[in-house]
Amino acid sequence: MVKSPFYNADHEAFRDVMRRFVDNEIEPHATAWDEAGTFPRDLYRKAAAIGLIGLGFPEEYGGTPCDNFMWIVAVQELARAGAGGIGASLNSHSIGAPPIARAGTPAFRARVLPQILSGEKISALAITEPGGGSDVAGLRTTARREGDVYVVNGEKTFITSGMRADYITTAVRTGGEGPGGVSLLVIEGDTPGLSRTPLKKMGWWASDTATLHFDDCRVPAGNLLGEEGAGFKIIMHNFNSERLTMAAGCTAAARVCLDEAIGYARQRHTFGKPLTQHQVIRHKLVDMAQRVSASQAMLEMLAWRLDQGENPVAEICMLKNQATQTMAFCASEAVQIFGGAGFMRGVKVERIYREVKVNAIGGGTEEIMKDLASRQMGL
């Protein structure tokens, strides 16, 4: 295999660290944690100790500034366990905490970020509401200023790490209709008036997902991120990195399906010979490999362009769709190659098959990605 020119010695050293972490701390427990619907909170501290939680954050708060390829290494190594729910909750800070680092007051950043980046506290992002998903500008949760506090009322749903998050970066309406009335407010987990309802899901069973209810929650005005009405722009700033890392995870999950299918096809015999000696199976594996390679190449080229200071929004939208569709194809073909064994719980390809749709919906649905890409293209 030709070595990619995008990864240097630091990337490869971190890959080794991540691989040992996944092999020792996650993979042996992945099936049990999925069945239990949770994983130990101590995993955050272990992830922080190897530098995972601090990736991309300022050193002064315990972070490690990095490029997009370091994120790709981290996300794709986590995906090797075939347990997307663990990675989703373990990395919920990667969407909940960047707005704090970017727009929080110096005092608020100094108080909150070290706790998150050490793995002591959990960060989440709360944007989606029961009445609307990707329509961020139409959100209805309100925050009314009363002296030195905001009084928050409303609901958020499908929130990753929603049950146990200590700091919830929440999109609220402080002004009129549309994006100009949206602000970001960090609501702390012990705030009176905050209640949480756990959600059962098709996949990502080990991920903590919840609906949040805000009933006259009084939140210090110092928890506001940026200025009132600036929340929409801060949220949009998150999307390129979120979609890139989602694409990295989907492409890696597709590769896991390919590797698992190859391994199974070599040892499973039908009609007196291994599955790999049947042309139809070999062609399935080639089709999977072709799509994985194309998705990985697109991912790495766009990561490089982002690191050069470009803002290829349309291409990143298309990348997300390319990666989620590759994952869907490879998961389906892998289960088909496994046959009845692929329908059994505890098999990586079965778990990944159940996780396909959350990736095609979260971070912007496939339909919205196409529409946004077309607008960026001037269509």
So which residues are the catalytic ones? 242
Cα gap 281→333, rounded to integer Å = 9
* Amino acid code (one letter) for 79: A
Match 């939140």 to its residue by tokens. 219
Count of alpha carbons within 13 angstroms of residue 341, beta-carbon side: 10
* Coil/strand/helix, residue 307: helix
Nearest to 95 by CA among 196, 179, 168, 198: 168
Tokens (6 digits) for 338: 């496994």
State the DSSP string of 91-132.
Answer: TTHHHHSHHHHHHS-HHHHHHHHHHHHTTSS-EEEE--BTTB
- Looking at the DSSP bridge assignments, the partners of residue 170 are 126, 185
Cα gap 49→61, rounded to integer Å = 14
Cα gap 374→303, rounded to integer Å = 21
H/E element, 139: none
- Looking at the DSSP bridge assignments, the partners of residue 214 are 154, 194
State the DSSP string of 17-83.
Answer: HHHHHIIIIIGGGHHHHHHHT---THHHHHHHHTTSTTBTS-GGGT-B---HHHHHHHHHHHHTTS-
Tokens (6 digits) for 223: 């928890």
